[in-house]
Structure 1
């Protein structure tokens, strides 16, 4: 808990204006011998809607790697402040089924700093390996908006969404609940004041919660090896009512506006 507070303090201090480098830090942060705390896994499963079992949800290693990710994002030589980055896409590759009794080596690095029509974007690449074999990878793309950019994710053209199969009520507390199990305590998710400081009228749900909740709804339909591509569109203002739909590997989460579009592709 103390380490988490220290990381968030570094993130907050990163908002102080200063000259930042124009390139990414050339380092990989790693942690060997990571073990799953089954009580924590059960808490994560409950918050995100997964069944309680020893097979890890495809989004759970993202939580295991989150402390390394935050150390990277708050490093003095990272080109953007961590607070204010917008998570716009995520690709997860499950190379093989992953279980809670495995011991992981984690590695996180930044890659591919490039322009975006609303600022600049960067990939945070995380990998989990077991006995030298990569079993899971994730590429999270973050947008750093320029000062003239509008807030929110820019929706893109897409095929018509499938017909909704379920309606979910998303309570205000989901921001705090997911923060507790993920370690991501960004105030835009947990505080009305914090959300307003960044242009949101209410706290918003974590994008990775919306992805996890969607994949939980597909439990039992996912193959052993697959890729999940997700595009975060409009934030979910809490509380909310959203509709989930899926068809032929595609899935969507919509409310008054589209929130999430994803695709599951078997290996």
Structure 2
């Protein structure tokens, strides 16, 4: 169990590192409508009969007026995410961590050939997960696959919002629904991965581990998007270049 938790920790670190390193890459969804934005959080809330500022209710839905994605647009979004430069960079970083930590599928641990196989394997894993959780399942159940950034309120409220979205998403019409894109889509991705995973690394425990890792990485990415890490890194890089000039 401890070994499995350590593997989960390594891959979570990998995911966070990948999104940080690739922050300068173009957002693959820029040509699509903006993701729905949740209702504004009131600055005050009723607390024990008086008005206070410490209790901030969490929004339950995005505004009624929002840009909707058609099924074709969901597949277009998945395609752009798959072909984005971020995908091979994430796969390479995942592979480097796996080889250094001795984790992942039972590939050879050393050599460029082994590294290449891991990059291909992880790239296929990432692409499969994107296909199922961004396009296939959301198109079937009429779910918006995009993460709706809260963008305001206390840190704990925003973190709770990011975690909640992993399990509760929004329909195309703005109503709440279970996040089938992740809960079902990432499960399908984990099962599909068995088709190209070395036989020694295929089993119920390995499949469940892959599923939980996908959920954990997806949740971490929600937090990264919620606090706009991409924009912050871009700003730091810009300032660094300006200082050098």
Larger Rg: 2
Report the structure, 1 or 2, having the larger helix content: 2
Report the structure, 1 or 2, having the larger strand content: 1
- TM-score (norm: length of structure 2): 0.28
- TM-score (norm: length of structure 1): 0.26
